[in-house]
Amino acid sequence: MRKLVVIAAFAAAFVAGAAAAQTPAAAPIPGSVLAATCSGCHGTGGRSVAEIPSIYGKTETQIATAMLEFKNDRRPATVMNRHAKGFSDAEIAELSRYIAANWR
């Protein structure tokens, strides 16, 4: 029974995803959600506890510039170039705005 519920949940998520993909102007993903993907490496609130650089306290322009340079292979990187390619320019603008405003 439990297995069936999980399968049903996946099916529902798949259908929802397919519907969203067909919507011409899909609702933008909030900056808080986009920025959550950064915390895994850069630490909670951008405060890294390891060797990966912290990204709190930066301006919106600094973050957006770095992300666009990573995305367009204009800044040397090991992982950020690949990570940045997963975001549209509009998503980069939104997550940069969110991080600059909240990760201080």
Contacting positions for ligand HEC (CB under 6 A) = 37-38, 40-42, 52-53, 55, 63, 66-67, 77-80, 83, 95, 99
Q: Which is nearer to ligand HEC, 15 or 30 (CB)?
A: 30
d(CA 99, CA 35): 7
- Closer by beta carbon to ligand HEC, 22 or else 78: 78
CB of 12 to ligand HEC, least distance (A): 27
